Amino acid sequence: MYLKTSCTPRESVFNRDRRDVVLDLSDLMESKIDAEDFFEENFITSGIKTLLEKTFSRLEGSIDQASTFLIAQAMGGGKTHNMIALGLLAQDPKLRMKILGKNSLGATLGNVRVVSFTGRQSDAPLGIWGSIAEQLGKKEVFNN
């Protein structure tokens, strides 16, 4: 009963058309995600805020931390959502300022080229690194 009096669910929670919507990294790369809707529907937790801050400070060169981050959560813990949020904000400086603030980390960056690989692409002919090289326009570096 306490939950019912403390929370007001968004209308979209009751939308039958959205009940089975599960996002994948391929949706990000194929521009199938409306970024504004994504951030209206999702709350930026302290964990994702830390990921965003560390990533954008690394991209700006303001910290000398390793450029790899381990996102370790249980199944259904939001790893894909975190990566999609990061990708959407990296691709769009205006959205980044809107979501993170004008003086936030990443404010001085322009568009960031985002590449990805999802485990669902396990049949990629050149594997993970070949797929990433192809997205970067460097496929010729790899061979079969």
User: pLDDT, tens digit, for every residue of 79-102?
Assistant: 888 889 999 999 998 998 888 887
Mean pLDDT value of segment 17-38 = 83
Contacts of 104 (CB under 8 A, 6+ apart): 53, 56, 96, 97
Q: 3-state SS of the chain: helix, strand, coil percent to 5?
A: 50, 0, 50
Specify if 39 maps to a domain: yes
The answer to whether residues 36 and 106 belong to one domain is: yes
In a domain, 9, yes or no: no
pTM over 0.95: no
pLDDT recorded at residue 26: 87
pLDDT higher than 60, residue 76: no
Please state the domain count of the chain. 2
Same domain as 92, residue 38 = yes
Q: DSSP code of 94?
A: H
Query: How far is 87 from 79, CA to CA, in rounded Å?
Result: 12
Q: In this structure, is residue 76 part of a structural domain?
A: yes
Whether residue 70 lies inside any domain: the answer is yes
User: Distance (Å, rounded) from C-alpha 93 to C-alpha 78?
Assistant: 23
Alpha helix stretches (DSSP H) within 1-138: 2-6, 25-29, 35-41, 46-60, 79-91, 93-100, 127-135
For residue 25, pLDDT over 60 is answered with yes
Secondary structure (3-state) at 53: helix
Q: Distance (Å, rounded) from C-alpha 61 to C-alpha 46?
A: 22
- pLDDT band of residue 55 (cuts 50, 70, 90) is confident
Biggest alpha carbon–alpha carbon distance for the chain: 61
Whether residues 65 and 101 share a domain: the answer is yes
Question: Is the same domain home to 36 and 107?
Answer: yes
Query: What confidence category does residue 72 fall into, taking pLDDT thresholds of 50, 70 and 90?
Result: low
Shared domain for 104 and 132, answered yes or no, is no
Which residue would you say has higher pLDDT here, 69 or 127? 127
Q: Quote the domain boundaries for residue 64.
A: 21-111
Token pair, residue 107, equals 């404010």
Q: List the structure tokens of 47.
A: 């964990």
